Amino acid sequence: MPEVNETDFAIVVFREDDGWDADVLPVAVTDDLKGFIRVLRQQPSIAGTIGLAGIDDYFFVAVRVVGSQISVLLSDIGAALDYPLAEQVLDYLEIPVPDEDDLDQVLPVGDLSIFADLGLDEMDLAAICSRLDFDSDDDPWDHVEDAVESIAVRLGFGPAMERALDTALGALRSPAAVAGEPVTGYEATFEPAMRAALAEAGAAAAAGDVPVGAVVVDGAGTVLARGRNRREADGDPTAHAELIAIRAAARAVGRWRLDGLTLVVTLEPCTMCAGAVTTARLSRLVFGAADPRAGAVGSVWDVVRDQRTSPVPEVIGGPLAAECRAVLTRFFGERR
Ligand code: ZN
């Protein structure tokens, strides 16, 4: 009986006046199909909103919402044997879950003409799905994201999808790219928490400490704990903003596991703090400015998304990056 989805990415694609754009969604939206559809419905878009979720590097689910009409595609019917989302797609399509013995190849189900009006016909989409057959020696795709990217290129939003996949899958991005990217949609929802973290950074600077601030927020964005760099104030080499906020959050919720919570910090964490994010089982890490010298979340190392650690938290870099960097530049400028 399927129990969990191992979602690699969930991406919403929408069209505004000047073209297609793509944003990363929290992977938890794929916990159930109806919730996924509900989130897509909330995103205004010309020509309909598209959701693409890649699960366990094995299959993808495509959903398109145009007005009241909903189209759904599952890239491989066999996934319904193991994954709740795939099973829910079959349920939605009123197709019975197949017998394992009847499955000898990848078989997409649902609306294969889901993107036909956008230039990707049924045959071509079926061909993309069938190349996700890992048992086949016939030039298979390496990864589900290749299939999704191929769809995106055909539909005319390849670059937007590539950026979204980079964010979702934690591909190493240059610090300049992190700092320079426009912050839109989903990422912008973390700006209020980042402002609270910036206030902590300001307080650290006033006390003579390098201005780094952090907060821990719950799913509703409520600040549960705050921390600021206190290395000088406490004479403690480990008194980084993140560790102080993580400890305070654990006290606030009365447990050491901080799953479901988000750490928001003004600067990309160091190796120690990145390790603490994993150790605390935080569900999400949001950082403002990248740290090209000592950052351990993509710049120099990538501790939190190392495949040997699990679970891997969602990582978002960039909200208010310019402001986060400016407080540091100002601090070091004044000291020189
Ligand atoms: Zn640190």
273-321 pLDDT, tens digit each: 999 999 999 999 999 999 989 999 999 999 998 867 767 889 999 899 9
Compute the distance from residue 247 Cα to the ligand 1 centre, in Å: 13
Active site members: 242
**Residue 334 pLDDT greater than 90, yes or no:** no
Q: What is the pLDDT of residues 3-56, one digit of tens each?
A: 677 888 999 999 987 789 999 888 888 889 999 999 999 888 888 899 999 998
Name the DSSP letter for residue 115: T
Pairing verdict, β 314-317 and 284-289: parallel
pLDDT class of 178 with cuts at 50, 70, 90? very low
pTM recorded for the entire structure: 0.53
What residues does the ion ligand 1 have nearby, CB within 5 Å? 240, 270, 272-273
Rounded average pLDDT over 241-251: 97
Compute the distance from residue 20 Cα to the ligand 1 centre, in Å: 37
pLDDT class of 135 with cuts at 50, 70, 90? low
Q: What is the pLDDT of residues 47-98, one digit of tens each?
A: 889 999 999 888 999 999 998 899 999 999 999 999 999 999 999 999 999 8
Q: Which segments of the chain are extended strands (E)?
A: 7-16, 19-24, 49-55, 59-66, 69-74, 109-110, 213-217, 223-228, 262-267, 284-289, 314-317
Q: Answer for the pair 296, 305: CB distance below 8 angstroms, yes or no.
A: no
Helices 241-253 and 191-206, packing angle to 10 deg: 120
Question: Best-predicted range by mean pLDDT among 154-158, 159-163, 198-202?
Answer: 198-202
Compute the distance from residue 8 Cα to the ligand 1 centre, in Å: 27
C-alpha torsion angle, residues 237, 240, 244, 245 (rounded to 10): -170
Out of 31-35, 58-62, 155-159, 184-188, pick the least confident: 184-188
98 by DSSP, 3-state: which?
coil
The one-letter code for the residue type at 83 is Y
Residue in the structure block whose two tokens are 């929802």? 189
Compute the distance from residue 246 Cα to the ligand 1 centre, in Å: 11
